[in-house]
Amino acid sequence: MGRHTLAFVIAAMMIIKLAHADNWAVLVSGSDGYYNYRHQADVCHTYHLLKNNGYKESNIIVFMKDDIAYNTENPFPGTIINYPGGPNVYEGVKMDYTGKDVTPTNFLNVLLGKDMSGIGTGKTLKTSSEDRVFVYFSDHGAPGLIAFPDYVMLYSKDLIETLDRMSSDNHFKEMVFYLEACESGSMFDRVLSDKLRIYATTAANPTESSYACDYDETYKAYLNDCYTRSFLNDTSNNDLHSQTLQDQFLRIKKSSTHSNVCQYGDMSIAKQPLSNWFLGTANKASNDLVFSSPPLTNFHLQKTKGLVNRNVKLEFLLKKIETATDSADKIKWQLELDDYKRDESKADTVFAAMSSMFELHYVRDAAANNGANDGDKCHTEVLDHDCIKEAAMVYQSECGKFNEYSIRYATYLNDACKARVSVNQLQKQLNRICSVVV
């Protein structure tokens, strides 16, 4: 074969290879319960944004409990909106994993492209080394972990191991991961290698809450999360071909006045145009839903009050009691509030006892004063992710699952790890504490 013929064959093979390159997305709402309305609304809106911008329906994989659209609390059954006056983003969303199938194990297996036959639709990532993967996740979090329905946890240790395996097995060309959760930076800070070809942004740094935005009096729910609201609006209202991921990050960071938006991993990916990830060259069918939410001006942002995500359920219950017109409804919501307060009291007592027993307040005070941030709010002290996973599992085995209130104390488990409390010590003392705390 002549030199020119060989060159032609190689060029043709490269063109064929590039022609088969594709974009894939995995969208996850990890919560359940009507008060968490915003997480499923975020995922539904993201689904339509991608599809209307040119993603193949077959290449978008959706995890969602699907308990919001037809929830008895929803005043408009079958409808979910993501911003005030917005369209029904629930309509047309093809969900792959719902109900009991929304689990950390299934999520990680889908990322790895494992056989999912008999679970949900069975759709999984069938990607090549030339494909780009976009992952969006919205739910609650704490240092080194994020939650799935019923507070089943996905730990940073397991997520990073999965991403590392995907990279080493060439399951993608590049990946972008947008994570909406409290203390979400802890999932990637100092553990997401810049060699994996993965770029991640998070709604909050490793030590702070993310925020819910746009409370709606009619739906009695927060319609979106502040970071996600900024990301969706930015993508909808900018030229995806001329603007880069870094341009978007800087705008989101500026508009997210409630928390510190952070970025991790391979920063070279951030230089790519948004169109590489969100496309923007679609030929929209006439019956497709098309969303073009109004740009969020500084004035709008100043008028929008965000709420710490961990306080959303409490506010939800208080508003239900305040607005109930039927005495039976008022009693129902008061009983739920009483349950919430009991859980609150138990968590306060358990973690106060644990903190005192292991002198964790000294660890916390030292960490606050040791200059760990050095002016960079996205990078904190190194977390022991193995220990955090073991400590969280011990807590749940001895004291029960985390809930909307107690998850805020997961940071104390990190403190125990820093204080070098052994797993056996922790289990013994938590068993002792939780056996007497009612």
**Distance from C-alpha of 271 to C-alpha of 265, rounded to nearest angstrom:** 13
60 three-state secondary structure: strand
CB contact at 8 A, 274 and 244:
yes
**Distance from C-alpha of 341 to C-alpha of 71, rounded to nearest angstrom:** 24
Kind of pairing, strands 262-265 and 221-225?
Answer: unpaired
28 three-state secondary structure: strand
Q: What contacts 17, CB < 8 A, 6 or more positions away?
A: 130
Q: What is the tally of helices (H) and strands (E) in the chain? A: 14, 12
What are the angstrom distances between the C-alpha of 263 and each of 184, 275, 278, 377? 11, 19, 18, 11
CB contact at 8 A, 68 and 218:
no
**Distance from C-alpha of 183 to C-alpha of 378, rounded to nearest angstrom:** 10
165 three-state secondary structure: helix
Kind of pairing, strands 307-308 and 211-216?
Answer: antiparallel
Q: Active-site residues: which are they?
A: 140, 182
| DSSP state letters, 245-278 | HHHHHHHHHHH--SS--EEEE-TTGGGSBTHHHH
Question: 72: alpha, beta or left, given left = phi > 0 and alpha = psi -120 to 50?
Answer: alpha
In 3D, which of 220, 234, 243 has the Cα closest to residue 296? Answer: 234
- The arrangement of strands across the sheet holding 145-148 comes to 141-142, 145-148, 152-155
What are the angstrom distances between the C-alpha of 81 and each of 64, 214, 223, 255? 15, 11, 7, 21
Reading the block at residue 270, the tokens are 């951030």
Enter the DSSP assignment of 416: H
In 3D, which of 31, 12, 24, 47 has the Cα closest to residue 148? Answer: 31
